[in-house]
Amino acid sequence: MVKMSLDAVQVMSGQVKELKVSPSSNGDARGSWEGKEEFDPSQLELTAKPKPVTGRRARKVEGAVFFPKPENAVTVAVSSRVLFRTEREQKVFEQKGVEEYLRYQIEHENEPFAPGPAFPFVKALEAVNTRLRELYPQSEELFDIVLVTYNHAHVGIRLINTINHHNLFIERFCMTGGSSPIGYLKAWHTNLYLSADAEKVREALAEGIAAATMFMTEKLTEVSESQLRVAFDGDAVLFSDESERIFKTHGLDKFFEHEKENEDRLLDHGPLKGFLEALGKLQKKFYAKGQRLDCPIRTYLVTARSAASSGIRALKTLRAWGLEIDEALFLAGAPKGPMLEKIRPHIYFDDQMFHVEGAAEMGTVAAHVPYGIAQKYNSQQKMSSGK
């Protein structure tokens, strides 16, 4: 089993030592900027002229390329620590403190960060935007990506250089200097927040914002560059944890009995239902142009439910909500990892760490949704195992 924890920034590999992260400015873990000797970047001596960043592209906002209003777009807020790999910088902060960390970032600001676990997902969002602009040049119904970071503004130059180096179209930043980003997420009308900080993810969920914790992984499966693939668990992700509570407290037989008795009663919504709705809204724009079979967005339901005994309620609920799932996999308790390896999603959402770890073992980027009854049982398991 791949070793993971909910501590921010973990390298998911049995051979890699777990990186313990103290509160920091680098990414999502909240850091304190008080009680430290103030760093003056003007005093930084550079012995050599900075080299230009290779691969920088010219930005032109003309024609169909413009910035949508947040209320019209599907806004995805991504932490810098899941979009890019920043472990080295994190160690500088932990070992030498915030002032040396800032000095290091400025000295290396022309060295781009390597892609992190959210990078392929963001690239896929941009590929969908390209197709949407071709079909609807004046529409503001696009993915709008916001980079959210706890970093000090001094680090912004390196982040911008990295974005240009990787040819990402990200123009909106939230650099909070150690403050919580949750208020900004609400102001951006955020549809999805991806972070390495589980506590901030829980805070976002409590505010009604779809959110999930992402992890570093050493093994990554190659994913499509032209079609965005998003996979969801059912209970406590798309749906509420009502049925999962029955299963956890009364067992499988009672769960089947409960689902049979309530198959015509809709499940309540879960934390990621709104994001699936947003994806469906963009899918329909392609369907309207006769591109259902060539749609660059594809969604999947990957659930441990059984089809005959408990699947009908889930499907009836989705239909009543007016939501379409392109593929539904009812695994009846079988491992999800092998199925996800075949799907090759850019991201998979699940409320149980067991399934997140299993997906990661097969090279799938899986994000944990810390919501519902399963979190109580996860905590009990950690306590009983001494973790």
Q: Which residues are catalytic?
A: 233
- Please name the residue that has the structure tokens 């970032």: 105
CA of residue 13 relative to chain centroid, distance? 19
CB 230 within 8 A of CB 347: yes
CA distance 317 to 313: 6
- Please name the residue that has the structure tokens 């990186």: 19
CA distance 320 to 348: 23
- Please name the residue that has the structure tokens 């093994």: 219
Burial tier of 247 (Cβ tally within 10 Å: 0-12, 13-18, 19+): buried
CA distance 339 to 362: 9
CB burial readout 123-148, b (16+ within 10 A) else e: bbbbbbbebbbeebeeeeebbbbbbb
Specify the 3-state DSSP secondary structure of 211. Answer: strand
CB 210 within 8 A of CB 193: yes
CA distance 367 to 82: 11
Characterise 35 by phi-psi region: left (phi > 0), alpha (psi -120 to 50), beta (else). left
